[in-house]
Amino acid sequence: MEVIIMKTYEEVCEESAAIIQEAWRQENALVLGFATGKTPLGLYERLIELYNQGGIDFASVKAFNLDEYVGLEESHPQSFAYYMDHHLFQHVNIMKENIFRLSGRPADIEAHCRSYERKIQEVGGIDVQILGIGKNGHIAFNEPGSSLSSRTRLEILTQETVLANRQFFQDEKELPRFCLTMGIGTILETKMALLLASGKDKAEIIARAVEGPVTASVPASALQLHACARFVIDEAAASGLSNLDYYRWAYENKDRASDLLKIVALKTGN
Ligand code: PGA
C-alpha cells in the first residue's frame, strides 16, 4: 500500500494522471477502470489535456465503469454512462467498442453482472482501477457491510447515499435506491487500485481505511489486502493519518516505476 500525499487537489489530479500515463507507456492497450463522483473530475480534465498535447492516446485503451444506478437510461444526465461520456470519453479517441459499462436496465441483472465479470477476465483484467471513497468508506457502491469477497452485483444504496442524491433528481420517483457495482473482490483483483481523495471531510475515513482494521464496515480498508494500492490524497484528506512522516519519506525514496513493473510482470508472467 502506498500513500502519496500532495499539497493540493490539483496536484492529486496531476500525480494520478502521471501514474496512468506511465502505465499507458508500459502498455498502450491499457485496461482502465473508471469511477464517477466529484473527486476524479480534475483527473479526467488532466487526461484530456495530456491527450490534446499528445502525451497519451486512447485508441487501444479499454474502459470499464465501476457502477451504475438501476433504472436509469444511459442518456439520463445522472447516469454514470452519461458522466463518463461527458467528462472524458467524448473528448478523447477511445473506441466505442472498447467501452464496457454496467447497464442500468439489464433484462437479467444476474446474467448481466456475470457477463461483466467474464468480460473483465477476457481482456486480461483491469490494469489500473481509479477509485473515489465515500464518507462512509464505500468504494464503488460497495456500501458498509459488503462482503470483502463480493463480486459485481445488485447493491442497495444506503439511505445516506439516496438522500445525498436528492439534489440531482428533480423527480423524486427517479431517485435510485439500487445500483449495480463491481464487488470488493473484483476490485481486489485489479492490478493497481488508484484511490483519490481530497478535502478535510475525507480525513477521518481515509485514516480508518489506511490505518484502521480491515473490516467490511469500512469497505475501502479492504485495499490493505490489495497487492498494489495507491492512495493519492491531498494534505487535508491526509490530516487524520498517524504515519504521515513515513509516507512522505517512503514516497521521496521510492522508485515510482516499481509498481508499474509489477503490472508488466503480471501480464507477461515473469
Ligand atoms: P465524491 O464521491 O468523489 O463525489 O466525494 C466519492 C464516492 O462516493 O465514491
The predicted pLDDT at position 237 comes to 98
Residue type for 131, please?
L
Mutate to test the pocket of ligand 1, among 9, 133, 135, 168 (most ligand atoms within 8 A of CB): 133
Per-residue tens of pLDDT for the chain, all 270 residues: 999 999 999 999 999 999 999 999 999 999 999 999 999 999 999 999 999 999 999 999 999 999 999 999 999 999 999 999 999 999 999 999 999 999 999 999 999 999 999 999 999 999 999 999 999 999 999 999 999 999 999 999 999 889 888 888 888 888 999 999 999 999 999 999 999 999 999 999 999 999 999 999 999 999 999 999 999 999 999 999 999 999 998 888 876 556 556 666 666 666
For the CA atoms of 78, 129, 190, 61, what is the dihedral angle to 10 degrees?
100
Strand partners for 32: 63, 128
pLDDT score of 170: 86
Eight-class DSSP state of 157: P
Residues near 111 by Cβ (< 8 Å), separated by ≥ 6?
none
What was the pLDDT predicted at 174?
86
Cell digits of residue 262: 509489477
Catalytic, out of 15, 27, 65, 67? 67
pTM of the model: 0.93
Distance CA(152)–CA(113), nearest Å, equals 5
Q: Residue 139 — φ and ψ, nearest 5°?
A: -120, 140
143 is annotated as an active-site residue: yes
Contact 129, 193 (CB under 8 A): yes
Pocket test for ligand 1, best of 34, 39, 179, 232 (most atoms within 8 A of CB): 39
- Residue 256 has a pLDDT of 57
Does residue 16 have its Cβ closer than 6 Å to ligand 1?
no
